[in-house]
Structure 1
Amino acid sequence: MQVFILLLFGLVAGACQSLPPVDPDPAASVDAARELFALAAAADQEGDAATALAAIQQAAALRPNHPTLLYNAAALEAQAGYTAQARLRLAKLARMGVGLNVRAQPAFEGMHGHESFERAADQLARNAEPLGETPLHRSISFGPTQFGPVTKILPEGIAYDAQRDDWYVGGVAVPFIVREKAEAVFSATGKRGVFGMQFDAERRVLWAATAFPPGVSTEADHEPPREWVELLGDNWKGRSLLVRIRVDEQELASVMSHGPVHYGGGVQAVSVPGEQPNSLGDVLVRANGEVLTSDAEGGTIWRVIDPDGWDADSEGPWLERWLQGPELPSPQGMAEAAGFVYLADYSTGLHRIDDDGERRPLVKPEELCDLGIDGLAATEDGRHLIAIQNGFAPQRILWLSLSEDGTAVTDWQVLAAGLPEWREPTLGLVHEGWFYFVANSHWPDFADFENPKGKQGVPEIRKLRLPSTESEQE
């Protein structure tokens, strides 16, 4: 009997657990769990219940708080008659906030009526109900582009210029950065979509990560400027680039990758002889002016060297690898709080990183699942993180309280979850006590980027009122 389902969209990506020591090689643990999960699923498909149960239990022991592993271990244990252990796993899933109708699952039919099962089933059902309110803040609309209609933009990141009250939205499928007043301020390089962005108020600069979307061939790239071809040659294809835009002049100032190389016209690019960014996804401008960009496929974080460099007389800007140690499986959103950089890796959860790029221990509540986090932001007092967890069922926005020294997540709560107006929320930002975020990216419609399914609507920025912080109460 096939019982396997996925409760975390990233499959068996990581564990939601309290781990004071730093895992020296997170990717290795992820790979081991994935192999065990695949073995269990194949054995279950073939009717080999003993092998399936042994493999899934090993995987669950390796990643003891992973929703997909917990659920499937519970299902196989229930079928094998280990109902007490299955009920414990379901109760844990309920406390983690997983939303699921387990009463409809044949694997658990024999457990109906048991008090602990019914209690867990009730909570799992409540977890699946919509929670919170996220009213519409802005709809970003603009005219047709050379790349396609606006409704197929696939918005991912946003940025806000408070001085001019300007909102920016970046498109992954329609590679533009668009200002709210129907202005396309930047057409991304070729077919590289625009992912994370951040407005740098001190420099009056918009930083944006661009990369080829999943499944889009680098050979489909549009012809780049002649001087870029002369400098980059074949290295132009397949590149993920960080761009820097002077917003007041609406001028592309720099195109950045690994190692300093310049050419005229005020724009800088880099020929890459060795390693290079693979798929830049998010951008963080730190309080000290340092600029970081995460690399989802490269497994690292890059730092901008000389972010104030503007012309051929300067050495920058260019990128160097900043995150130390082995690569992570899938780095995503970043935020600065309590003097540290916090990184959400889609597969292994939250990481605390010091000024030298070293990962440091981060203690987390036992039943906080921090996998599947895409967007990450911090409150203005630096004591809380806001996380968009679009790889969880149901998709939700979390409020994470940090210890005073930043070494632990001391408490957590779900601010909003499973709302019908969402269509895979992605990235967001905090401004004056509100969290603003892209609510309807429509990523599920873009399995085929050339022929997206469904009817994508105009990009929406929605907002969520945040709990009062201590600094606001003083």
Structure 2
Amino acid sequence: MKRYVLILVVVLFGAYAKAQTLNEVYGQSVKAYEAKDYKSFLALTLKLDSLRPSHPTFTYNLAAAHALNGSVEEANLYLEKLVLTNNKTEFEKDADFKSLETTAAYKKTLLLKAELEKEIKNSKKVISLSEKDLHPEGLLFLEKSKTWLATSIRKRKIVSFNPKTGKCTDWLTGKNILAVFSIKADKDEKYLWAATGALPEMEKYSKALKGKAEILQIDIKTKAIVKRFSVGGEHLFGDLVVAKNNVVYSTDSEKPIVYKIEKDTITEWLSLNGEALSLQGIALNTENTKLFVADYLSGIVAVDIKNNADRSWLEFPKGSTKKGIDGLTYYDNSLIAIHNGVQPIRIVQYKLDKNQKQLTGFTTLDNNRPEFNEPVLSMLKGNKLYFFANSPWKFYSKEFALDLSKFQNPMLFSHDLKGKI
């Protein structure tokens, strides 16, 4: 059994009462385990998993609880799930799993653990950017002006960069701009749309900015902010897409809500309360009939644009995991997901069925690469996928100072997707 202080739960949920309940139930589960009341241990851990899915401690303990209750098949299933999210977990010497060691499923999980350690190197480095402390997130190529743009979390701006030398030039700056996450242009490249939010990692952050978030509409020709869109309360606009009809859809990572901007008005388009916990990437299919939204824990939901009540959470193929998806890009009836909330980090292309309601298979494009620390959002240019491989989220101090000695300049990578799946 794993015993951890559940700081992650408190941070993720935000609501003190719910986090407190989780800690209380977790404490009860520990006492049941220590008393060898394994039936209660299983029941309590199942409750924890329902409240906070895919937490590594709860997944580990569910595998142990099932094993201790003689549910060998279920125990092996949870062990496989655990390894797919973190292949560094050491469970082999845990006596709780003694009953599983002779089973074929357990031996397959050990092979899977070793398999995930292998490096898969398909994407290639294109260039390093000149600004080391930029902390890029979003990326865009403007076809009309042949301009490459990158957003900055740390510097609260958008830069253009030379694709041959990596030299950065400020494209949009200003004291009233927050950390910039995703950027997208409309089909005519008249306006640039930017998803922003306040984070302690950005320069000149103050507590007064906590929970502030805006979607910016920017005139590409003049580089002037035409309009700012915001909603009351605490929010974080992490990603967005612009449909062919110029309607904008954006995910809120603070609350599981998708917002829509249409006719100069921002409204709540879809609430996923009770279904999702931390919305991330968002993508539209080619026909603009279906929206795909990634949640860091719950996977990917496919939503009908004309009727958002018509939605379904996609079931992931055997041997893959729904956890830890950040960037999400649609390409040729498939979804490319950047899994940076798992170990090892990997980029996976998931094939959709003809109705785009199921995932029918997957190909791992990159896996366990030392350069990937950590990729976030991605974009398409023709058949090529582009992304920054090393956003420095892990290299901030407790006071949110960025240690430049611990990482390299931002590295742009690309991957030719043509004929891959």
Normalised by the size of structure 2, how large is the TM-score?
0.81
- How far apart, CA to CA, are the structure 2 residues paired with 1:239 and 1:62? 27
Task: Find the partner of 1:445 among 395, 399, 419.
Answer: 395
Greater shift in the superposed pair: 296-305 or 426-435: 296-305
1:293 to partner: Cα distance: 1.6
Structure 2 counterpart SS, 1:93: helix
Are 1:33 and 1:63, in contact at CA under 8 Å, matched by a contact in 2?
no
Distance 2:91 2:225 in 1: 56
Where does structure 1 lack aligned partners over 5 or more consecutive residues? Answer: 15-26, 142-149, 222-233, 259-274, 307-316
Instruction: Provide the identity percentage.
Output: 22
Give the number of equivalent residue pairs. 402
Q: CA deviation at 1:40?
A: 3.2
Partner in structure 1 of residue 111 of structure 2: 122
The residue identity in structure 1 corresponding to 2:257 is T
The residue number in structure 1 matching 2:150 is 169
Give SS of 2:325's match. Answer: coil
What do the CA deviations read for 1:336-364 (whole angstroms, capped 9, x no partner)?
11620111122322112222462412442
Structure 2: segments with no counterpart, 5+ residues: 163-167
- The structure 2 residue matched to 1:377, chosen from 326, 329, 350, is 329
Task: State the 1:164 CA deviation.
Answer: 2.9
What's the counterpart of residue 281 of structure 1?
Answer: 238
Could you tell me whether the CA contact under 8 Å between 1:71 and 1:90 is conserved in 2?
A: yes
- Structure 2 counterpart of 1:404: 354
TM-aligned CA deviation for residue 305 of structure 1: 2.4
Matches within 5 A, 1:222-371: 238-258=211-231, 275=232, 278-306=235-263, 317-324=264-271, 326=273, 328-337=276-285, 339-356=289-306, 358-359=308-309, 360-365=311-316, 367=318, 368-371=320-323
Task: Give the whole-Å Cα distance in 2 for the aligned partners of 1:12 and 1:120.
Answer: 31
Task: Letter of the 1:437 partner, please give it.
Answer: F
Q: Which deviates more, 405-414 or 295-304?
A: 405-414
Q: How does 1:10-159 map to 2 (within 5 A)?
A: 39-40=25-26, 43-44=29-30, 47-50=34-37, 51-60=40-49, 69-78=58-67, 80=68, 82=70, 84-85=72-73, 88-89=76-77, 92-93=80-81, 96=84, 99-100=87-88, 102=90, 105-107=93-95, 110=98, 114-116=102-104, 117-141=106-130, 150-159=131-140
Tell me the amino acid that sits aligned with residue 374 of structure 1.
Answer: D
Name the CA distance, whole Å, in 2 between partners of 1:105 and 1:5. Answer: 18
Say whether residues 1:180 and 2:161 are aligned partners. Answer: yes
Q: Which has the higher contact order (CA 8 A, sep 6+)?
A: 1
Please identify which structure carries the higher strand content. 2
Aligned to 1:99, the other structure's residue is in SS state coil
Please give the per-residue CA displacement for 1:22-47, whole angstroms capped at 9, x wherever unaligned.
xxxxx9xxx98995686336643894
Q: Letter of the aligned partner of 2:124 in structure 1?
A: P
Render the CA deviation track for 1:384-441: whole Å, top value 9, x for unaligned: 1111111122221121111222222222232222211111110001222221112101
- 2:3 and 2:253 map into 1 onto residues whose CA distance is 27
Which amino acid is 1:3 matched to? K
- Contact 1:77-1:86 at 8 Å conserved across structures: yes
Residues 397, 414 of structure 1: 8 Å contact kept: yes
Aligned-pair CA distance for 1:202: 0.9
For residues 64 and 74 of structure 2, the distance between their equivalents in structure 1, rounded to whole angstroms, comes to 7
Amino acid at match of 1:468: G
What do the CA deviations read for 1:151-196 (whole angstroms, capped 9, x no partner)? Answer: 2222111111123332211111221211004211112554621111
